Structures are given as structure tokens and as C-alpha cells.
């Protein structure tokens, strides 16, 4: 029992109560050899009370045989050094000098343990809540755990790093970022697929609520990478049972079907979800745009994809993903030569005009306008800047000169849009700063997640 507990708690910086109980147990049954073995192990571990154990180890070592005082290779090295000397020694002198060398070796071990303990004290002293609680950790605590993990990973020790992750997740089990980080770190270790699966299962099935499905999507993608497509499919279906309008999960499920069973099966899956009464209007519009994308990009049937958009145009007048995807679909089409370029411009302009007269919020129209400006600059014809200047006044000018935004002016709030659809509410300032939309998994490698307390909208 104690040996099992040692694997779970033995490396904890504050593990001295455990080690004291272990030693007390062995002393009670008069297993003095085991007590010395335990102390021999403890003196190498950075603990809060490391010095106390070292002093006891030194006291007991005087009555132990030389073979018990250090690893065999260390003792053999000392013997060879002494044997290589010119001076002849009796057995008693040899033992005395060996003990002196080993004593110096123990002093070096103590110094090394002291150094490692001091390094970790920088982070340990900032751990204010080493136990689980439902209330949020403050920013300073989260930053300290990130720095502590960075430090331990930099030291390069697998066991200590794994132990610190487990300890961190006792405190921060509600935070997706640490589950993501732990899983990604473990994936970088060779031959640890089962450990990665265990981490993701614990996060998905125990700690992270299904209302935050990002870790489950990551788990599904991991299982697919391990050739377990059926498990990945079940994970997506389980998410959609609780969150039927989570678009990212729908898209992941559809593309899993595409990879495993072909485009036609993927389209059938889309149509199934499109006809579901649980789906909102916004989600249906996004599903239609994904249907058109599969037809246009994967099957190469551009005209058929355009027809899908056109046939559903009146059904989703206020659906942001529908209009965004249609707009970018037209922009991405190749156009070679003046004739094709003129046709291309008219198609893009037609979609843009429809967006301006749709029910989209003004800020969304302004964001799309930024892309339209880039299009006119980089691919527009001789009259492009006439269109650019006119549209800029209509979109970004004062209310007295704005046109085509009457329906959206009253709805000028930052609405949430489709659950799980990345990059919907992206303001002009984002484009100016050269940033993109949300990534699929918001937890960044540097540990600066969006809404780390678990309220992020995926």
C-alpha cells in the first residue's frame, strides 16, 4: 500500500507527512533495513524538509555496510581510485578512506538536493491553494502553475514533470488549458499513447463539462489518429446529443465521414442534421454553407455549389456563416484574363450587395467590407477604386450617408452567432492588427487561453 502511495504522492514537495508515516510503519515492525532504504531514496528528492531526512540518514549510515551507502558503480569507482594510488593500505585503512569518499559523495548529494529544492521553492511558495475547489483560481495562481510547468519541463525529467501535471490538475481540474497542455506534452513523449488517452478520458468524462466540448473534440481527433474512427464518431454524437447546435462538432463529424466513407456520405450526414428540428436557423445556414463547400472544393463542382447558395439565399438572410462562406467562396474562385475577371468581380459584388441588404449586424458588414476592400485593391479592375470609395462612405460614413444598412442598424450589438463557429465576431481592429479568428482549440502553447475560467465560447 505504501509503495503504491509513493508513486502517487512521494514526489510532492510537501510529502513529508507521507514519508514520516512510511518510516514509522517500517520502524513499528522493526524493519530497520527498509527504513534505511527509504531514507536512501528520500535524500535525492527535493522536499520541503529535505535536511531533516538527510541528517537522519547520515546518523544511520555510520552503522551500515559500505555496500549500502552508495550505488555499486560509485563504490567501485572509489575503490579503483584508491587502488591506483602508490600507498599500500590495510583493509581497515581502505574501508576508512572509502567511507570518507562516500561521505563526500553524500555531501554532494545533499548540495544537489538543496539546490533543486531552492529552485522549486520559487514556485511552491506561490501555491496558495494546493487542493481542489469549485471557485476560480486568480490570475497569479494560474500564471504560477504555467511557470512551474515550464520550469519542470525544462529540467527534462519525465517522472517529475508528469507528477507536477497531476498535482496541478488537482488544483486546476476545471481549466481546459491544463488538460490540453498535459495531453500535448504527453503526446510528445514516445510510446505514451495510452497515457494520452487516459488524460483525455479523465478530462472528457469526469472534470470538464460537456458545455465546453473543445477537449472532447480533441479527444475524438486523437482517437481518429489512432485508427479508432468509430470511437471518434461516438464522441461527436455524444456531444451533439447535449449540444445539437454546436457547429464545430457537426463539421468535425461530417469531415470524419468524408475521410472514412467519402464525400457523398458526408453530404448525407449534413442533410440529416439540416433536417433536424433541434437545429437553429443560424446552424442550418452554416450547414448549408458546409454542404456547398464540400460540393465546390472537394467535388470540384463550382456551379453546383453556387446554386446551393443561391437556392437558400432567402432562407438565411441573417445567418453570418452562410454569408461569410458564400462571400469567400466567390473570392477564392480563379479568374484568368479580362473577361473572367470581369465576371468574377460581378459575382463577388453581387454577394457583397446582398450582404449589405441582409439582416446582418452592422459590425459584421463592416468586417466583411474590410475583406471587400482588400479584394478590390488586389484583384479589382480599372473602376475598382470608384466602387471602393463609394462603398467606404456607405459602410463607414456617418448614419446620414450610410445606405443598405437600415435593417442591421437596429441590430448593432455583438451577438454570439452560431455556437462553435470560429471567427464570427471579428472586428476591423483584428484585421488591422494582422490577427486571425479563433483557433479550433483556444488554449495557446504559452498558456494564455481565452477566458481561462471555462466560460470561453468554442
Q: One digit per residue, pLDDT tens: the chain, 458 residues? A: 888 888 888 888 888 899 989 889 988 888 888 888 888 888 888 999 888 988 888 888 877 777 777 777 777 777 676 666 656 666 676 667 778 888 888 888 888 889 999 999 999 999 999 999 999 999 999 999 999 999 999 987 899 999 999 999 999 999 999 999 999 999 999 999 999 999 999 999 999 999 999 999 999 999 999 999 999 999 999 999 999 999 999 999 999 999 999 999 999 999 999 999 999 999 999 999 999 999 999 999 999 999 999 999 999 988 999 999 999 999 999 988 889 999 999 999 999 999 988 888 888 888 899 999 999 998 888 888 888 888 888 888 787 777 655 445 444 444 444 455 444 433 333 333 333 333 344 444 444 444 444 433 32
Domain segments of the chain as ranges: 2-124
How far CA 403 is from CA of 363, 364, 393, 398, in Å, comes to 14, 15, 9, 10
Supply 409's cell numbers: 442598424
In terms of Cα–Cα distance, which of 265, 312, 264, 306 is closest to 287?
A: 312
d(CA 441, CA 252): 13
User: Helix 139-155 to helix 176-187 angle, to the nearest 10 degrees?
Assistant: 10
Exposure string over 274-294, b if 16+ CB within 10 A, otherwise e: beeeebeebbbbbbbbbbbbb
What residues contact 81, with CB distance under 8 A and at least 6 apart?
101
| Cβ–Cβ under 8 Å, residues 245 and 280 | yes
Is 97 in contact with 89 (CB distance < 8 Å)? yes
Residue linked to cell 581502505: 94
Backbone angles phi, psi at 84, to 5 degrees: -75, -10
- Residue 324 cell numbers, joined: 461569410
**C-alpha 132, offset from chain centre:** 21
Amino acid at each position: 500500500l505504501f509503495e503504491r502511495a509513493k508513486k502517487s504522492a512521494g514526489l510532492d514537495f510537501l510529502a513529508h507527512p507521507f514519508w514520516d508515516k512510511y518510516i514509522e510503519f517500517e520502524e513499528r515492525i522493526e524493519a530497520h533495513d527498509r527504513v534505511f532504504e527509504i531514507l536512501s531514496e528520500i535524500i535525492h528528492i527535493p522536499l520541503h524538509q529535505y535536511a531533516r531526512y538527510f541528517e537522519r540518514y547520515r546518523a544511520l549510515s555510520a552503522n551500515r555496510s559500505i555496500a549500502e551507502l552508495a550505488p555499486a558503480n560509485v563504490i567501485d569507482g572509489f575503490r579503483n581510485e584508491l587502488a591506483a594510488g602508490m600507498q599500500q593500505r590495510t583493509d581497515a585503512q581502505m574501508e576508512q578512506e572509502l567511507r570518507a569518499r562516500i561521505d563526500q559523495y553524500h555531501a554532494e548529494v545533499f548540495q544537489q538536493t538543496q539546490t533543486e529544492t531552492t529552485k522549486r521553492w520559487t514556485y511552491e511558495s506561490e501555491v496558495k491553494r494546493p487542493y481542489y475547489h469549485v471557485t476560480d483560481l486568480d490570475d497569479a495562481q494560474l500564471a504560477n502553475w504555467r511557470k512551474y510547468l515550464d520550469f519542470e519541463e525544462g529540467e527534462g525529467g519525465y517522472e517529475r514533470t508528469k507528477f507536477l501535471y497531476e498535482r496541478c490538475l488537482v488544483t486546476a481540474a476545471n481549466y481546459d488549458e491544463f488538460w490540453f497542455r498535459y495531453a500535448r506534452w504527453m503526446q510528445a513523449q514516445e510510446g505514451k499513447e495510452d497515457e494520452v488517452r487516459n488524460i483525455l478520458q479523465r478530462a472528457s468524462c469526469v472534470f470538464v463539462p460537456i458545455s465546453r466540448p473543445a477537449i472532447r473534440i480533441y479527444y475524438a481527433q486523437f482517437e481518429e489518429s489512432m485508427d479508432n474512427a468509430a470511437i471518434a464518431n461516438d464522441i461527436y454524437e455524444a456531444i451533439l446529443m447535449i449540444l445539437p447546435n454546436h457547429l464545430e462538432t457537426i463539421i468535425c463529424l461530417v469531415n470524419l465521414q468524408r475521410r472514412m466513407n467519402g464525400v457523398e456520405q458526408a453530404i448525407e450526414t449534413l442533410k440529416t442534421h439540416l433536417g433536424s428540428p433541434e437545429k437553429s436557423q443560424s446552424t442550418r445556414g452554416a450547414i448549408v454553407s458546409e454542404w456547398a463547400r464540400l460540393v465546390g472544393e472537394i467535388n470540384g463542382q463550382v456551379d453546383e455549389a453556387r446554386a446551393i447558395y443561391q437556392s437558400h439565399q432567402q432562407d438565411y438572410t441573417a445567418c453570418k456563416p452562410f454569408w461569410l462562406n458564400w462571400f469567400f467562396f466567390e473570392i477564392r474562385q480563379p479568374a484568368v484574363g479580362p473577361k473572367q475577371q470581369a465576371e468574377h468581380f460581378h459575382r463577388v459584388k453581387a454577394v457583397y450587395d446582398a450582404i449589405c441588404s441582409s439582416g446582418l449586424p452592422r459590425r459584421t458588414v463592416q468586417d466583411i467590407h474590410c475583406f471587400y476592400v482588400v479584394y478590390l485593391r488586389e484583384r479589382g479592375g480599372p473602376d475598382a477604386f470608384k466602387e471602393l470609395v463609394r462603398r467606404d462612405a456607405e459602410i463607414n460614413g456617418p448614419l446620414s450617408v450610410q445606405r443598405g444598412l437600415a435593417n442591421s442598424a437596429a441590430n448593432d450589438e455583438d451577438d454570439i452567432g452560431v455556437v462553435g463557429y470560429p471567427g464570427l465576431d471579428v472586428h476591423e481592429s483584428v484585421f488591422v492588427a494582422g490577427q486571425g479568428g479563433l483557433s479550433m482549440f483556444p488554449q495557446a502553447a504559452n498558456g494564455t487561453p481565452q477566458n481561462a475560467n471555462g466560460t470561453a465560447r468554442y
